[in-house]
Structure 1
Amino acid sequence: MRVLLSTYGSRGDVEPVAGLAVRLRELGAEVRVCAPPDEEFAELLTGVGVPLVPVGPPMGSMVRPSSAAEASRRVSELAALYDTIAAAAEGYDALLATGLAHFASRSVAEKLDIPYVYATFCSFLLPSPYHPPPLVLAGESVPPGVTDNRVLWDLNARTFNALHGEALNTHRASIGLPRVDDVRGFIFTDRPWLAADPTLGPWRQTPDLDVVHTGAWILPDERPLPAGLLAFLDAGEPPVYAGFGSMRGVSEDTARAAIEAIRAQGRRALVGRGWAGLALIDDRDDCFAVGEVNHQALFARVAAVVHHGGAGTTTTAARAGAPQVVVPQAGDQLYWAGRVADLGIGAGHDGPTPTTESLSAALRTALAPETRARASAVAAAIRTDGTTMAAKLLLDAASRRKAARWK
């Protein structure tokens, strides 16, 4: 069986796909991954022996659209990934997409007549009467006085059509595929997969959408921690880690606020440089900076994790039993901040730009003994079989389609 996994997004999109690819391969499938050509993604996939087909410009160069014209142009660019993905999918038996790969990938699967799945890592993005939709454009706001979630989701669907319909359908016409009238439905399909842990990211089923909740897709990381980092960890009490992953807009002031707040709690600080290139604020020996390292191993050795609230980072910290402070920057990170607070495993910061005072208050919650105890209890409940469930479902779908063709 041959399976193509297609993604376009940050590391939070690529790493789970790599985890699924490894599990599919263990079950006997031949797998390749279409992903952005960023160096860190190439290294990640090479490290686990999964072939990479580079698509599009590097994700590190992308910015969120702030106008309708920019959104339409972005969709045209994403739909144009079709040729590369179609070539990669030739002769394959199934296609699964995540992130922003859907515009091209679903059309590829339709053209090749192979099973197609779209997976998301956060229920926040899926239409439901139980929560409002995310904002589509930077700077967008909810219409005044509108609070009914169903009305808001209807408006969201119209926004998808207005922003993305023309660009998507222009491309589909160019490859001989029919027009799409419901762009959001086209993206998510009527049976999307939710690759989030049921404890961290639960889903309440609705009559309108048949969501398959697979659990989180975790790529086991066996890399040793660097010698310098190990020496720092061994030199004192567990530090507090502060890092913002793939967020490029995080300012130097955030690093300063984090270090000062951590010091105010009598703790040592460990700063993750991330895409923003965060740095230490002085040369005191109670702080250490790291680049891309094994978070699974690292988070098991820290007192708390201060982060942006990406699905992957939230899940990794939860699995490690590390209390969290989520400082959400955009999108689904607001959802994860709320979940961390609701579960009692940390605190959600109010807003994307912390001060020393605001972060100190959040850290006091995260570092409380009862928060550590709750984080340990939740860690024991986190499932680790998400990739197994997803891989088996995907291979079953491909097998059924093959069997139907042989009849």
Structure 2
Amino acid sequence: MRVLLSTFGSRGDVEPLVALAARLRLSGLEVRVCAPPDQDFVQRLGDIGVALVPVGRSARALTTGASQPSSLPERAAQLIANQFDTVAAAAEGCRALVATGMLPAAAGALAVAEKLGIPAVSVTFQQVTLPSPHRPPLAFPGCPFPPEATDNRTLWDLDARNINALFGAALNTNRASIGLPPVDNVRNYVIGNQPWLATDPTLDPWQRTTDLDVVQTGAWMLPDERPLPPEVLAFLDAGEPPVYVGFGSMPMQRSTDIAKVAIEAIRAHGRRAILARGWADLTLIDGCDDYIVADELNHQALFRRVAAVVHHGGAGTTTTAAQSAAPQVIVPQAADQPYWAARVAELGIGAAHTDSTPTIESLSAALESALTPRTRARATTVAEQIRTDGATTAATRLLSAISS
């Protein structure tokens, strides 16, 4: 049997599908993955023997602002059209489709599954896009909520209207082109009747509602057996545990300044540092030997050996750091990242930086909290509660659905 996993987004949208694809292949299924054509995505899927079916433009180019349409509706129309062109071909002969990633891309993939009559499941890697009376929705850029609207249910109604205004025309135009009727609520169409929440219930506890039947599988994490580079191992062995700094797929603002701010804040605590270059392209700031800059690293192996992890607050990095018992400092940039920062602070396993652009003083203050023995002890306790079976649970559930 063959299944298709479809996404469009950053590394955080692709990495969980690597874990699910690996588990599905262990169960004897053939797996196809539609994702952006970035070389690091191709490599990660290649590591587990799965070929990437490229869809759309480079996610890195879009994230860093290169060659993207001027407005969100224009970008959405492009993403949806790409899904119709690519996913339709890739889905032929598949028994099921798993859709995730940016909302318009997921909408396009689900429409293809609908046209082909393939069972589909919608998955999110954070709960902040799932309607709930317990918290407000995220506002889309350029679509702020009116200040007088404070009731959560009212805000979620406004959220649905904003999503229709941003993405409805593009989705329904493409649906009409393949003979499908229009949808009048794009958000609810994408979420479906029983969405999967692929997050850890300790880090991201879902409060049940009467409005939505959510299946929380646990986070999709693949055990990473890749060795750390010799130069990184040598640096780790040469002194006390360093502080890791990395912002993943976030381009960041003034990235050279961010590197300097991070190094100086860490030096203020007498610590060494490891900087991950990432999409922010963090670079050397001087010739001192108390830090190094590295490229692709095995976070699971590295985070067990660091004093703290400074990062942007992506779901995957947050979960890996928590699983590794590494205290965290989250400097959130966008989307769900403030949510993860708040959760880390609430759990007592790190600090939430209050601004997206830290100063030496503000980052040093956040590190002051993260580097305490109390935070380390709490992180160790929470690490024991983090599930490691999320991808296996999801694979078993999907296999059961398509075998029945």
TM-score, normalized by the shorter chain, greater than 0.5: yes
How many pairs were matched up? 398
The alpha carbon displacement at 1:164 in A equals 1.0
CA contact (8 A) 2:84 2:174 kept: no
1:303-314 matches, within 5 Å, as 303-314=307-318
Q: What TM-score comes out, normalization by structure 1 length?
A: 0.95
Q: Percent identity?
A: 63
Alignment correspondent of 1:404: none
CA contact (8 A) 1:14 1:41 kept: yes
Task: Choose from 295, 298, 304 the match for 1:300.
Answer: 304
Q: Distance in 2 between matches of 1:9 and 1:144?
A: 30
CA contact (8 A) 2:87 2:112 kept: yes
Alignment correspondent of 2:140: 136
Is there any run of 5+ residues in structure 2 with no aligned partner, and where?
none
Alignment correspondent of 2:278: 274
> Cα RMSD over matched residues?
1.5
1:5-24 matches, within 5 Å, as 5-24=5-24
Instruction: Determine helix, strand or coil for the equivalent of 1:8.
Output: coil
The alpha carbon displacement at 1:158 in A equals 0.5
CA contact (8 A) 1:75 1:103 kept: no
Alignment correspondent of 1:45: 45
Alignment correspondent of 2:27: 27
Alignment correspondent of 2:176: 173
The alpha carbon displacement at 1:339 in A equals 0.4
Stretches (4+) displaced over 4 A:
none
Q: Distance in 2 between matches of 1:64 and 1:106?
A: 27
Is there any run of 5+ residues in structure 1 with no aligned partner, and where?
401-407
CA contact (8 A) 2:6 2:99 kept: yes
Alignment correspondent of 2:214: 211
Alignment correspondent of 1:102: 106
Alignment correspondent of 2:86: 84
CA contact (8 A) 1:194 1:214 kept: yes
Aligned in 2, Cα 1:64/1:224: closer, same or farther, shift over 3 Å? closer
Task: Choose from 153, 164, 173 the match for 1:161.
Answer: 164
Residue by residue, what CA displacement relative to the aligned partner does 1:275-320 show, whole Å, maximum 9, x if unpaired?
Answer: 0100121111101111111011000100000000000000010111
Aligned in 2, Cα 1:248/1:35: closer, same or farther, shift over 3 Å? same
Alignment correspondent of 1:403: none
Aligned in 2, Cα 1:129/1:4: closer, same or farther, shift over 3 Å? same
CA contact (8 A) 2:107 2:186 kept: no
1:106-125 matches, within 5 Å, as 106-125=110-129
Q: What TM-score comes out, normalization by structure 2 length?
A: 0.96
Q: Distance in 2 between matches of 1:310 and 1:280?
A: 24
Alignment correspondent of 1:230: 233
CA contact (8 A) 2:5 2:32 kept: yes
Residue by residue, what CA displacement relative to the aligned partner does 1:22-43 show, whole Å, maximum 9, x if unpaired?
Answer: 0011111111111100000001
The alpha carbon displacement at 1:83 in A equals 2.1
Task: Choose from 331, 336, 348 the match for 1:332.
Answer: 336
CA contact (8 A) 2:63 2:251 kept: no
